[in-house]
Chain A
């Protein structure tokens, strides 16, 4: 699950930067379920340490200062590779499972 959360976070950051609380809401809205801060922030720190994302404290528009995360080129490459691996894994598994669900 740890690797999947990392990929989901990279996916959410693919098109725009975001901060922790917003990412948690986006994950929830996408149907992944509530991801608590206790799980999310260690993942963000791991990704940051691996150089897949960068972070910067900034004042939001009229809001308080927040730590904004942005994907790096290395992060994009990791998302591309990881996403490909995920699809390769999940497609046949889905095919098998679907038979069970239909039957």
Chain B
């Protein structure tokens, strides 16, 4: 009723019909800019890169169709194989370490700890830093002559030697260390939130039955946090596949290309070595890896929601 009172008497229906139409179109108009930006900037460009990966583009894009040549070249490329293997090592160790450390810290922090807030803040601050800052600091800490090694010598352990940063076999593990330092606090926060949501009556019942606390955590609480595990693995895997900054800051892919990751490979070939076709193919494979990971995840997420 009040709707009509907004218009002075005598106004015909035409403007109100116009306003109604506007009202109906307004929501779509408001999201239209984002629709265009995302449609072009994500989906259009994804397609474009896909097209480039089937061409022989080198320094400039050319649109000749060469089939799967670039993918075949990629699979035969030593540097790409190293990068993929490194992703396996880095991703596996990074995810596993973050999970173990995060879970342990979360459980311990959930024992009515005094100053819990302050401790939590300390565990999480590395997440606020740029990977470039993290890389810079860890590069200095692991400096083969003036870093950790010298510290240990000064403290009396004179035979201590640590040159992983410049060793082509071990350098990838230094990147794992820095990455775990940065992200494990985040996993802690995820699990702590999960633990706070666990129904305490179940645990009380188990205790009455005589179960010990570690057993309760292992058998009851952690299994009930399965969704948190999934989320954490998703996010960590996503971070691992996209990892670029940390490698650039710590080793720039070296020594040689021993610490290359797919993202570093893609950057080097596309933007500095003038092999756009090959770089695009590697980008598409990275996309494929992420798809393999998130499609099942999103699918189960959305299905669950429909059941709610």
Q: Do A and B bind each other?
A: no
**Which B residues fall within an 8 A CB radius of A?**
none
**Which A residues fall within an 8 A CB radius of B?**
none
